[in-house]
Structure 1
């Protein structure tokens, strides 16, 4: 029984880690927080990981109920996430940072777009719902906790990259990855629309 539990736990952790893919978010974090001080970047990392934790745990326990109650499909989240990402990419290309009106968003960058839709996106939210139903509560809770720990460690490792790039290098990287974010956004919307009309 212990072996089965451990086998399920490993499968759940690996699958969730692959879907969340925190390493792939590192360039986007650089793009979003390139003009921030180290303290502000730390704050964004903290807000991001807390938001991701809330989303994953809430969806694991009551996600299917929430979606069915409001008649919302997970693919609607995918399309909405794509639209949000596209808006972010436009801001990064035109202003060099993620802003709203005349106010620069700092901690809020940890919510949109880092926590949702990049890390706790439709795939991750769907996966924790399935994990809860397939493997049970404890496997799901432990796997989420482990993946959150790994993700946070990766988020906090971004500072050395800033030191290597310097201010000018970070600005160049921001513009380059803004285009990649736009491509992510378009793909999110395309995939969501495909699933809706499948």
Structure 2
């Protein structure tokens, strides 16, 4: 295990694209308008704990049910592919569930908005390629950035503007699509051989 700045940067960018912090600003603003105060610290910490736990225990859980990391990474590539399509095409492929005002910081913010199926799948996919310490640092960087965004979501939305958010979301969608293709091609070879 060694700290590699290139791996940290790549893992940070991948998680940033999957979590879609900027693209989620409209959802965060909508939740804030409906339920009032959002506990930014609580949401960021719980999401971070979920992601770190899955980073370390996810492989054991998969082994317990008889799935290898390459298979999970290929499945994750499909999830990332569909998340990217949602971002690029502006369509919704999944149904959003009802929200409770008391649990808003945990659900849907911490899970599944921040630490959702896409980010958890991505963590295991990244673990197949990068050192765990570098992914851990990337998680911390993303949770710090998420905290800042949650704290200042209204100011950011006004500054970036509706068109700016749309453009950023589509750019990160294309990046995520490329990452999905790379994850698929690199892990499908491991499954075939």
Gaps of 5+ in 2: 33-37, 99-106
Residue correspondences, number: 170
Greater share of helix residues, 1 or 2?
1
Cα distance in 2 for partners of 1:189, 1:41 equals 36
TM superposition score normalised by structure 2: 0.64
Cα distance in 2, alignment partners of residues 26 and 164 from structure 1: 20
* TM-score after normalising by structure 1: 0.62
> Of residues 146, 167, 170 in structure 2, which corresponds to 1:155?
146
Shift of 1:103: 5.3
- Please report how far the alpha carbon of residue 151 of structure 1 lies from its aligned counterpart in structure 2 after TM superposition: 4.0
Q: For residue 79 of structure 1, report the CA deviation from its aligned partner.
A: 0.5
Change (3 A) 1:94 1:150: closer
Q: For residues 87 and 135 of structure 2, what CA distance do their matches in structure 1 show?
A: 31
Deviations 1:52-81 (A, max 9, x none): 12212324xxx44x4444331110111011
Q: Based on CA coordinates, which of the two structures has the bigger radius of gyration?
A: 1
Match of 2:11 among 21, 41, 59: 21
Determine if the alignment matches structure 1 residue 122 to structure 2 residue 125: yes
Q: How does 1:1-198 map to 2 (within 5 A)?
A: 11=2, 14=4, 18=8, 21-28=11-18, 29-37=20-28, 42=40, 45-59=44-58, 63-64=59-60, 66-95=61-90, 100-101=94-95, 106-107=108-109, 108-113=112-117, 115-118=119-122, 120-124=123-127, 148-158=139-149, 159=152, 164-198=159-193
1:41 Cα deviation from its structure 2 partner: 9.9
Give the Cα separation in 2 of the matches to 1:164 and 1:113: 30
- The gaps in structure 1 that reach 5 residues or longer are 1-7, 132-139
